[in-house]
Structure formats: C-alpha cells, structure tokens
Structure 1
Amino acid sequence: MGFSDILEEIGGFGRFQLIHVILLSIPGLLMASQNLLNNFTAGIPEHHCYIPNGTSRAMDQNFSVLDVGSREILRAYIPIEGGSKLSKCTRFTEAQWHLVMANMSVISTHVNNNFTDAETETCHDGWTYDRTEFQATIVTEWDLVCKLRPLKQMSQTIYMGGVLAGAIIFGGLSDKFGRRAMLIWSYFQLATLGSCTAFSTTYLAYCILRFLTGMAVSGVILNSVSLKVEWIPTKNRTLVGTLSSFFFTFGQGVLAGVAYSLRDWRKLQVAVCAPYFFVFLYSWWFSESARWLVLNRRSEEALRHIHRVARINGKPEVVEKITLEVLESKMHKEIQSSKSIYSMYDLLRTPVMRKISICLMVVWFSTSFAYYGLAMDLQKFGVSIYLIQVIFGAVDIPAKLATMVSLSYLGRRITQSACLILSAALIFANIFVPSDMQTLRTTLAVLGKGLTSASFTCVYLFTGELYPTVIRQTGMGLSSTMARVGSMAAPAVLILDEVLPTLPSIVYGGSAVVAGIFAFFLPETLNVPLPETIEDVEEKWGRQKSTSQNTKEAVALQDMKEGMEGEAGKTTGLNAL
C-alpha cells in the first residue's frame, strides 16, 4: 500500500485534509470567472453607425420633436436588414427623410422595406452602442464589430492558447520543482497580470496579458488537483473531488452577479483577479506533496510535512513511530523507481500507459470541445446574458450530485462514458427542435452543458487516479493540453453554421459520442490506491490481461497434453492388437 498506509496512520481525512481541501477549492469560485469572462468583457451590445450632428439635421427637416436616438430619425440614416432590424455595419450616404415621413404617416411600411436604391457606406465615423446591458466592453473599447468582429472571438482563443501553453509548461515544471512552489507562483502571476489586463490601452496589450493570465490559470488548476489527490486517502477521493468541483459551479453564479454589478469590463477584470493576492498570501500554508518529495529523494523534508500533518490531525503520538527508516521502507519500491528520469514519452512507452493516455486525450478534448461550444456564446439564447449564466451554473448542481453518487457506486469508467454519451444525445435532440421553440432549445442546451460539466468533474478525478505519482503532473499536463485544444477549436466550429445551421451540433455531439466510447477502454479506479510508479500501473491494470492470456495458454497446453495422451493411448492399443 505504501504511502496510503502512512496517510491512514496520521489521521486519514482529518483536520489538515479538510482545511487543505477548502483552501485549495476557494479559488475555484473565481476560476469560472477566468474561463467564461469573455461572455461579459467581450459582450457585443446592439449598435449602429454613428450619425454626426443627427439631431441638428433632424431639426433642419422640422423633426424637432425627435432626437437622434429615436428609431424614426435612425430610419433616415440606417438601412433596414432582415425585415425589421437596423443595419449594424452600413448607413446611407445621404439622409432619406422621406422614409421618416413614411414611418410617421399611414403609408404602408412595405414602402420603407423595399427602398433599396439609396447608396450606402461603411461606418466611417464609428458606432453608437446601446449601453443598457453593457456599459463598456472590449468590443466598444476598440470597435470590434463588423469587419473586426472576429477579433472579439480571437481574444478568447488567445486566452485559451495561454491555458494550453500553461498546461504544457507547468505540467513539466511541477514534476520537477514541486506542486506547491508552482501553485504559489501561479496565484501570484494570475493576480498580478490579470489585474494589469484592466489597464490595457491597446487590443494587442490586452491579448498578451490575457495569454499570460491563461497560463497561470492552468498552473492553478493542475497543481490544485494534484495537491488534493496526493494528500487524500483512497476512500475519500470521490467525495472530495466532486464537492471541490462545486466551487467552480457556484463560481458561475458569482461571475453573473459581479458582472451584473460591474458592467464596465475594466472594473470586472480587476474584481475577478485581485482576490488572488489574498489567495497567494495564505497559499504559503500548504504542505508540499510528501509523495512527490519522497520520489525526488527529499525524504527528510517529506517526513517533516508528514509530522506536521499528524500534529494538525491530533495524532502527535504517531510522530515518534514514523521515522525516516519507516517512511523509506514503506516506499522502497517507489524510491527505487524514482531514480529514473521521466518524460512525456513515458506516457506512451508502455502498453497500459499508452492506452490510458490515448483514451484520456480523446476524453479531455471532447469534454472541453462540447462544454465551451455550449458555454461561450450565451448571447444566442435571446434572454439576459446574466440570467442564462446563472441558469447554466444552477443546472450543474444536480448534475454533479448525480455524478458523485454514480462515481461512488457505478465507478469512474461508466460515469465518464454516460456523461459524454447523454450530453451528445441532448445536443443531437436539439437539431430536431424547431427554431421558434426557443425555450425547449435553451433547456436542452442547458442540460447538455450540465452533463459536460459533470464529465469535467469525473475526468479531473479519473486522470489524477490513473497516472502514477512519478509522472502525474506531466500526464495531467498532456490531458489538459488536449482540453485546451478542444476549447480553442470549439468557437471555430460555430462558423460552420453558415454552411449548414445544424453542422456545429453534429460535430459537437459526434465528438462526445467518440469520447464516450473511448472512456469504456479506461481501467476502473474506484477504491484503488493511487499508483506511485509506471510499473504499478502496468501491474495493476495489465495483470488482468496477462492473467487472461496465461489462462488461455494453460488451457491450450492442457488440451494439447490431453490430445497427445489420447493419441498415445490409441497407439498403445493398436500395438497391443
């Protein structure tokens, strides 16, 4: 059992573990704010071309009772598109006052809509924005509309690129320098650069700072998961992993509330990043993973942390019992294995590790791909963006509670597969719902998003349990990398709706189905102690296959033996005759 025995001796899930998990989970309240922040800081308000001196021109035409913001006056300057909506990107080169008179008289409105001969131009003087829902966003700051609209989505892609880079960089650094050191640094980087983003004066500076903030977010997530898992006894991992994910769920509601109160993107940016300075200060209390310390030949330091945990858990008598010799004897096998140098290649070198890595890469990619495909375009639902954000967060609660029960009784593999396949079913079902049934479409999308969120809860726990300690962070980094690739690809798929409106849903749903199938090939980890080395992984989950093969070979040899004995018997009988 190795380190699992030591954990039980020093109190199992005691006072230290409770405080440890809570302090590591609190930042999750704002993790949702980082990943979903673009919905609010880059919200696109209603807009139309700016009309210079529109009011004075209206007065010159004896329309003094109207102001430039009224729809009647705008009708003289802004063409109608789609039957009733004002154009967002063009205006008439000359005011069409007869259209205003037509609107104000009993003349049929089809006169207005059929007027297409007037010459139009782009918005040379900028845009006028509706400040009702958003006071200021990066869209209004740098006019990211019309031809520049792709830059709005590009900012989110760049942020996710930072998260991707962070997964690669911090995954390797954590296995080399420790989980605690990298976590503390990630908190500081997130607090500092995230807050500085609010003072960006150019779009380029904003994107660079968001990229670096995304890197820090990866560092926080990866190291928080590992520090939790590596100090928690086997039997408590499911409960802790699921309850910890609720902080992220509640964080979606926190984001909606803060964004509703602070509708200026600069204030919102500071509000969701500055609190990490406080987290940075208390993070020095954390204990480094004793597993990692032992495997990196720092057993004396690991022993100090173990004794500290024992005292906090009210087990001072254990301090005398657990000596350096006891610790090293219990983890002798792991220490011998740790003398090897591991790289990302080791995730694919052996058969069981290769199967685990490939399956997890597919699961992580598809979970993130479907999740952000549903969660990053809230304005399409036609209701208040703040309300839909709260609804998205609320539906995660029952989904994760059901996941917790399933993880405890049905296991990780079945739960992971079910979450992905059921979410795909809901995404596919939405294809057949008529566009005018907006409530039903929104309901199915919300439920689908809840299941993908539950899939995230499962895969974080599952991955931490499947990879051995010596290379856990590298494995988490690889898996998280695939998730970030999925989150970067998700917005690009939305472009396919110009080819076929249902195509994005087909792609999202199809990806989830494939991942659900791959999840069935992963080993089950319910109530299984954490593997410490690659050899542990091969022995634990390669043994069943080997035993099965050996049994088949033994049966074949026995049959061959019996056949040879039968033939020998026949030969002996014939000779006797």
Structure 2
Amino acid sequence: MGKDSGLDAILAELKPFGKYNIVNYALLLFPIYLAGMYGSVFVFEAPDINYRCNIPQCEGLNDSDWLEYAIPQEKNGLSKCEMYQEATNSSNTCKIDDFNRSVVVKCHEYVYSEEYSVVKDFNLGCQNWKRTLIGTVHNAGLFVSLPLTGIISDKYGRKLALSIASLMNGLFGFIRSFSTGYVMMLVFEFLEAGLGAGAYSTAFVIAMELVGPKGRVFGNTLINGVYVMGLMSLASFSWWLQSWRFLLRLIYIPAIFVVSYYWILNESIRWLLSKGRYQEAAAIIQKAAKINKVKLSEEVLSPLYELEKLNVPENKENRANDVSVEKEPSNFMKVIKSSIIRKRVAICSFLWITCTFVYYGLSINSVSLAGNKYVNFMLVAFVEIPANIVCLLVLDRFGRKRVLIITYVLSACLCISLSFLPKDQKWLSLVLYLSGKFSITVAYSSVYIYVSEVFPTNVRQSLLAVCSSLGRVGSTLAPLTPLLTLYYDNLPAIFFGSLALVASVLVFSLPETINVPLPDTVEEAERLSKKKNRTGSI
C-alpha cells in the first residue's frame, strides 16, 4: 500500500470534516476571505468616473446652460475629452459666441466629479490605458508570486509559504494606500501581488490535502463560498467608505495577523510524508485522532509505520552505501521528461487562462452595466454561491470532464448571445450576464479541483502554480477588456465566448479523476492517462 492510499485510509477514519479539520478549515478560510477582496480591489481603486474639460471662463457660474455650447455631445452625454475651440473674437465671458462650434479640440485640464478614484487623485482624465493598467500590473504580479510561493511551499512547507505571502499582502497593500503618485502606486500594486498573491493557492492546497477524495468537492465549495463573501465585502466596504485609500487600509491590515499561522497551523500531513518526515506526520495524525475522539486501527496505521522504519538513520545509511541502488532522478527532472505531464500542464494552463479571462472580465465589466455599480458587482459575485453549490452537486456525480465541457460551452453561448440583444433589453442583458458568470464560475471551481488532482504530491503546488501563473495571462488581459467597448459594446463578450469554446474542445484530451486518490509520484500521475486509454472512459 502506497503513502497516498495509506493516508487516504487514515483520513477516511478521521472523517473528512471532524473537529480537527473544522478548526483547520476555519483558520484557512480567513486568508481566503481576504484573497477574495485583494484579487479585485483594483476595480474600486481606479473606477471610471465622470469628468469633463475645464473651461476657465465658465467655471463658477450659477447655471450650467453654457455646457451645451462649450462641450460637444456624445452618445452617453457630454464629451469627457473634447471641447469646442474658443472663438478668435471671444469676449472671454462664457457666451455662446465665445466658442467656435465647428472646431473640436482636446481638453488641457479637467473638472472631476465628487467620486473617489485614482483617476481623480492622480489626474488620469482621458487616459483610460493608465487606469486599466493598474489592474493589469496587479495581475501581472501573479506571474511572480505563484511560482515563487509554489517553490517555497513544496520545498520548505505550506504554512511557511502562507505566512510569508500574507505578510507581503498586508505590508505592501497598506503602504500602497499612501501613494503620492501614479508610479508609486503601480510599484506597490505589483509588489503586493507579486509577493503576496500566492496566499490563496497555498491555503487552497493545504485545504485539499487536509481531506480525502470524498471531502475535496465540499471543501472546495466552502472555500469558494468564503471567497465570494470577500468579493461582496469589497463592494460593500467601497460603497460605505467612498475612498480607495481608506478601503486599502481596512482590508490589508488583517493580512499581517496571518503570519501567526506559522506557529498556530499544523503542517500538511501529505507534504510531510512526501518529504519523508513520517514521525512528524504520525504525531499530527495522532493529534487529529485525539481531537476527533477517534481511535485509529492498527491496520490503517501499519503502512505509515512501515514507511517510518524505512526512514530510520541506519536504513538510510545502508541505502546510501548500497552501490547497486542507482540515484533517483529529481522530481523536477521526472516532470520535464514526462510527455504526459508536459501535455497536461499545457492544457491545464489554457483552461486556466480561459477561466481567469472570462471570470475576471465579466466581474470587471459588471461595473459598467446599467444601474448601481456596487450592486451590480455584488450580484455578479453573489451568483458564484449557487454556482459553487451546483459544482458540489454535479462534480462527484457526473465527473470532472463532463462538467467542464458543458460549462465551457454554456458560458460561450451565453456570452456570445449578449451581442445579439437590443440595447434596450437591460434586464435580459443582466440575466444573460449573470448566467455567463454562473457557468464560468462552475468551470473555474472545477479547474481548481481538477488541477490539484492530476499532479503528484511532491510537485503539486509547483505545477499548480505553473498552471495558475500561465493562466494569469487571462486575468492580466481582463482589465484591458473595457477598452474594447470603445470599438464595439459587446466585443468583450465575443472574446470571452470564443475562448471558452476552444477550452471545451481541449478538455476531451484529459483523464477523469473522479474518486481517484491523489497521485504521490509522477508515475502514479501518468497512470491516470493510461487508465483512461485502457478503459476508453472520459
């Protein structure tokens, strides 16, 4: 019996959600709740606000009738970036004759509304690329944080990686709230995400390794529900505070306290076993059994004792002196040499790109829908709760592959159909929009579980981090999608749908992992695909 099957048997006896796991999940859900706010905070840091050209000779007048002959009209009201040229014979008294309405010129200065935004604080009027770049820079930081945190997690332990990442979140997020200029904000936006965004993936991996196969989907649903609470809290706090600086201080300070998890949280048993630290793993298992008031049978514990015997100093010395035993290649080299794992990494990365691009794209563009932007954002976030409940109900019943294919296709159809709706159908547009977010959320949740199931324990977080990092191409590009509406209102939705269709086709080439024990080695991970080939199942 291998380490994985032995541990899963022990976890089954301990029960997936006994008191020990409930306490650990409660601890892990706090950084996940915070991550829900951090992942989309740029939406409320740099929202597009109302502004117009500054007309010096007209400002301060009691009436606003002059706006009609000083600033041209556009489809959504007064132009934000243009004004009529001042007439050559202007009396500089703000009369209709003072403006040449046949010539339109660009603004030099702007008058901003009373709304709070980086746009106003750093004078970013009519520089939409600078506004959207904030979100892009934030998500670009994930290219650094996820692999870095993954390496720390797989080499030095999950709880160390979680503690460091949370400290970086809190520190750089708090400093960012005091930004005195646009460049300073971009720097700390990148550093906060670049060194801290791995907190979510680390907490997720610990949670997935905490339970056996039967508890993974429920655990994932719980995690996603708390993440959604973070998203909704972000919109609520922003609506309440009406200040991006106060918002950052409120949400980032709590992350610093997660550093204490290094001393409070128990290390992942599965990670300890993968590192040959059987004594520590056994001590935690016994502690969990005591907390859960469960007496583990000798039959279940015996594989762990056998592994511990193999790890005693004299046996390790004997194996080192045995010239007949060839040195095993490193886990990383095994992954590089495995064509099956390489292909799996590439496809899973594309699935992740699709999920992040559509998921974040729909969330970001929701604030431009008709109605209150805070309510719209909360609605688009709230729809994830029923989506995760559906995920809980269908994943273990129909399998990972079938659910992924159906939800990708459904998301594509819903997004593309938005482009065929008349503009006056606002409520129907909102329903389709929410339905599209619903389906991509089910796909995103499924991908997170699926990727954690197809890679071996000793490189699981590293490969999950690779897929997630490459997948962040989608979330990095998503903040730029509002710019597409300048060319065609529904162009973002068409992009979302097209990418989802391609992803649905690629899922067919992957193995099914429903109720399969987590693979511990590269060989076990490869066997998932070989099993599929023998049985012909999807």
The two structures have a TM-score, normalised by structure 2, of 0.88
Structure 1 residue 493: Cα displacement? 4.8
State the aligned residue count. Answer: 518
Contact 1:256 1:386 in 2 (8 A): yes
Q: Residue in 1 aligned with 2:122?
A: 142
Q: Residue in 2 aligned with 1:89?
A: 81
Tell me whether 1:17 sits opposite 2:21 in the alignment. yes
Where do 1:67-466 residues align within 5 Å?
70-75=63-68, 78-82=70-74, 85-92=77-84, 94=86, 116-117=101-102, 120=105, 122-123=107-108, 126-131=109-114, 134=115, 136-146=116-126, 148-282=127-261, 284-315=263-294, 322=301, 326=305, 328=307, 340-343=329-332, 346-347=334-335, 349-466=337-454
Q: Residue in 2 aligned with 1:563?
A: none
Contact 2:511 2:532 in 1 (8 A): no
Amino acid at match of 1:202: G
Structure 1 residue 475: Cα displacement? 1.2
RMSD over equivalenced CA pairs, Å: 3.1
Structure 2 distance, partners of 1:200, 1:539, is 52
Q: CA deviation digits over 1:46-90, x for unaligned, max 9?
A: 10123446456x5xxxxxxx2xxx4224445x3122267222223
Secondary structure of 1:520 counterpart: helix
Structure 1 distance, partners of 2:306, 2:475, is 42
Amino acid at match of 2:460: R
Structure 2 distance, partners of 1:383, 1:99, is 38
Contact 2:72 2:84 in 1 (8 A): no
Q: CA deviation digits over 1:515-543, x for unaligned, max 9?
A: 11212322221111111111112234313
Structure 1 residue 26: Cα displacement? 2.5
Contact 1:200 1:206 in 2 (8 A): yes
- Decide which moves more: 294-303 or 347-356: 347-356
Contact 2:54 2:107 in 1 (8 A): no
Structure 1 residue 202: Cα displacement? 1.6
Structure 2 distance, partners of 1:361, 1:536, is 21
Amino acid at match of 1:488: T
- Decide which moves more: 272-281 or 323-332: 323-332
Unaligned runs of at least 5 residues, structure 1: 59-65, 103-110, 549-577
Within the candidate set 467, 473, 476, 2:464 is matched to 476
Contact 2:128 2:483 in 1 (8 A): no
Structure 2 distance, partners of 1:188, 1:346, is 33
Structure 1 residue 170: Cα displacement? 1.4
Q: Residue in 1 aligned with 2:38?
A: 34
Contact 1:399 1:454 in 2 (8 A): yes
Structure 2 distance, partners of 1:533, 1:303, is 20
Structure 1 residue 489: Cα displacement? 2.2
Structure 1 residue 6: Cα displacement? 2.6
Q: CA deviation digits over 1:371-409, x for unaligned, max 9?
A: 122111233212211110111122222222112111121
Structure 1 distance, partners of 2:532, 2:104, is 76
Contact 2:136 2:476 in 1 (8 A): yes
Q: Residue in 1 aligned with 2:323?
A: none
Amino acid at match of 1:155: I
Where do 1:45-60 residues align within 5 Å?
45-52=49-56, 54=58, 58=61
Amino acid at match of 1:39: V
Secondary structure of 2:49 counterpart: coil
Amino acid at match of 1:422: L
Contact 1:171 1:477 in 2 (8 A): yes
Contact 2:146 2:465 in 1 (8 A): yes
Amino acid at match of 1:88: K
Q: Residue in 1 aligned with 2:521?
A: 533
Structure 1 residue 99: Cα displacement? 11
Structure 2 distance, partners of 1:416, 1:324, is 36
Structure 1 residues 122 and 500: alpha-carbon distance in aligned structure 2, compared to 1, 3 A threshold: closer
Secondary structure of 2:101 counterpart: coil
Q: CA deviation digits over 1:92-145, x for unaligned, max 9?
A: 55487999877xxxxxxxx99x9623574522xx322111xx3x2111111112
Structure 1 distance, partners of 2:528, 2:212, is 18
Where do 1:453-532 residues align within 5 Å?
453-497=441-485, 501-532=489-520
- Decide which moves more: 24-33 or 425-434: 24-33
Structure 1 residues 338 and 179: alpha-carbon distance in aligned structure 2, compared to 1, 3 A threshold: farther
Identity fraction in percent:
26
Structure 2 distance, partners of 1:3, 1:465, is 15
Structure 1 residue 191: Cα displacement? 1.1
Unaligned runs of at least 5 residues, structure 2: 320-325
Structure 1 residues 346 and 72: alpha-carbon distance in aligned structure 2, compared to 1, 3 A threshold: farther
Amino acid at match of 1:116: R
Contact 1:13 1:233 in 2 (8 A): no
Structure 1 residue 502: Cα displacement? 4.5
Structure 1 residues 153 and 544: alpha-carbon distance in aligned structure 2, compared to 1, 3 A threshold: closer
Structure 1 residues 489 and 298: alpha-carbon distance in aligned structure 2, compared to 1, 3 A threshold: same
Structure 1 residues 15 and 488: alpha-carbon distance in aligned structure 2, compared to 1, 3 A threshold: same
Contact 2:412 2:497 in 1 (8 A): yes
